[in-house]
Structure 1
């Protein structure tokens, strides 16, 4: 069954707003006493369907390719074009989270996954004015955004087998156990810190989608905002870690303790998450 529900423009806009707020740290939001993990097959299908629609409706292949080619040819996107690129990339990332969460394989199809990675590397390259990487990833993206690849990717995304409710819940619980293992360490390397953030980002994407479909779901709203606060704090910290590494102040691979506030939030999440 490969037909997906069609959602309203208002629902898509709610998702856009939720994702756009995911790096904003709301200091005062808390969690329900116990996070309810239950859902239905309809929830899983609807969530994936909205994420797919959000990706399909948000831009055209030609628009994205034009941005890539412009950056390649004359080395400069305007501020507005950079923002457009950022938002397109965020649609890729949100759909990649959806594929990891809801698909039976818990991973994105290869061509889509690679495109998402290359879009990120290309963005890093033009942000940091790294011409060698701009050329390298730009040329790769020209191939990955060609019509044959685009059609293959679109087809694969519309023919994804969804995970069962039982295994979807088990997958999310395993993510939390992985998080538990990571933060049990007194200090984390840059990569481990990034792994923690990836788990949080994926979880927040689930609740963002859930609350966009059902704005009356107050628990989804609450958990989403709590996770977004963690995401925001970790995003700022990760930027500092990368900057320190580039400046030679502190190597990315050097272990460092988690900030007390961040650790407290992560521990509260684990305490409220049924494992």
Structure 2
């Protein structure tokens, strides 16, 4: 099993990675995709990429404190506290980033089911209390609380540590397969909410990959790619929020909704995969 605790990354690297994550959905209308070939992957990218993401979560999350936060919010059926909302958001951001790291850097290129469950529940609970849905906050909060109790969380920890490194060749092939999925979706005249959900997840994984890559190997080229990706991610996040709001007013509408993506956004996405 790969040693994920050593070598240790300095807090400067971990802080920069977290800052990248917090900025990865900020729209930059003037962002342009840089010309030239993509930055060459260093040989150790799979291991070093996963290791720094693992340390970001391991060092930055006190699961006992988070357990009390979840319990507090679910018992009240929500929270208006800016500090509580921010703490929840920051924990979820670290979990999401490690989940993306599993898809990006592990040779299986998939989410461990227990980590995916916990991270997804965080998202459902956060959507619920942001939209002041008391019942849903309590339902998802209760399930989330159970999954972060010591017994189940031991399984989550085990799966997070069970990392299998990948080769650069296979990582590139994985990104090419993801690009093909993107292409098949954006070529449709109209897309379903499920298509949009799948597309957004792929873009989010690519954003997370680049956020990690540019911390390990500083480059103005990679910084420009991140601005471009963040612009796309921000626009898609706005779409997502509107879909969630519509689903609240009309239950079931999220899955049934069919819509046309703005041509400008489609062109940005197509340029990304060409």
TM (normalized to structure 2)? 0.92
Range with greater deviation from structure 2 (218-227 or 202-211):
218-227
In structure 2, the partner of 1:25 is 27
What is the aligned counterpart of 1:231 among 207, 216, 233?
233
In structure 2, the partner of 1:241 is 243
The answer (yes or no) to whether the contact 1:200–1:231 under 8 Å persists in 2 is yes
CA deviation string 1:79-132 (max 9, x = no partner):
111111011101111111000111122122222111111111111222233333
Q: Are 2:48 and 1:57 aligned?
A: no
What is the aligned counterpart of 2:139 among 127, 136, 140?
136
Ranges in structure 1 where 5+ consecutive residues have no aligned partner: none
Q: 1:31-70 residue pairs with structure 2 within 5 A?
A: 31-36=33-38, 38-70=40-72
In structure 2, the partner of 1:258 is 261
The answer (yes or no) to whether the contact 1:38–1:169 under 8 Å persists in 2 is no
What is the aligned counterpart of 1:172 among 164, 170, 175?
175
Tell me the SS of whatever aligns to 2:132.
coil
In structure 2, the partner of 1:155 is 158
TM (normalized to structure 1)? 0.91
In structure 2, the partner of 1:6 is 8
Ranges in structure 2 where 5+ consecutive residues have no aligned partner: none
Aligned counterparts of 2:68 and 2:161: Cα–Cα separation in 1: 25
Give the superposed CA RMSD: 2.0
Give the Å deviation of 1:185.
Answer: 0.4
Aligned counterparts of 1:164 and 1:76: Cα–Cα separation in 2: 44
Aligned counterparts of 1:133 and 1:250: Cα–Cα separation in 2: 15
Aligned counterparts of 1:124 and 1:186: Cα–Cα separation in 2: 29
Aligned counterparts of 2:114 and 2:265: Cα–Cα separation in 1: 35
Range with greater deviation from structure 2 (91-100 or 188-197):
188-197
Q: Are 2:107 and 1:104 aligned?
A: yes
In structure 1, the partner of 2:88 is 85
CA deviation string 1:146-195 (max 9, x = no partner):
11322332233222111222111100110011000000001112221121
Structure 1 residues 93, 229: CA separation in 2 closer, same or farther (over 3 Å shift)? same
Aligned counterparts of 1:226 and 1:18: Cα–Cα separation in 2: 13
CA deviation string 1:5-53 (max 9, x = no partner):
3111111111111111111111122123344264134111111111101
Aligned counterparts of 2:257 and 2:145: Cα–Cα separation in 1: 36
In structure 2, the partner of 1:211 is 214
Range with greater deviation from structure 2 (139-148 or 166-175):
139-148
